[in-house]
């Protein structure tokens, strides 16, 4: 978490520390969150993929960046993951 790390979102270093802990490069990590700036933009500027959970129909206000994925609930994301997992990848 941010307390142990000494920095908070949206600092790139906290996202990179999470990737290091996972042992996965940032481009292979999908960060899911509901706050545009703290979660999605912060993650994407750190080189991760960003998934926005837009629960209350906010407007995306970053014309230069678009979330990789967007859902209105975590259930929508879970359904997408289930559907995608069932498709064989080449």
pLDDT tens digits, 14-53 = 999 999 999 999 999 999 999 999 999 999 999 999 999 9
**pLDDT single digits (tens) 47-79:** 999 999 999 888 898 989 999 999 999 999 999
Domains of the chain and CATH, by start: 2-85 (3.40.50.1000)
Confidence of residue 6 (pLDDT cuts 50, 70, 90): confident
Asked if 89 and 71 touch (Cβ cutoff 8 Å), the reply is no
Beta-carbon neighbour count of residue 70 at 10 Å? 15
Is the pTM here over 0.85, yes or no? no
Residue 1, pLDDT score? 66
């Amino acid at each position: 978490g941010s307390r142990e790390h000494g920095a908070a979102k949206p600092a790139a270093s906290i996202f990179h520390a999470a990737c290091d802990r996972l042992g996965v490069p940032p481009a292979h990590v999908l960060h899911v969150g509901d706050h545009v700036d703290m979660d999605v933009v912060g993650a994407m500027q750190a080189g991760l993929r960003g998934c926005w959970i837009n629960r209350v129909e906010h407007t995306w206000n970053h014309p230069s960046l678009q979330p990789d994925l967007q859902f209105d609930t975590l259930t929508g994301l879970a359904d997408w993951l289930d559907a995608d997992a069932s498709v064989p990848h080449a």
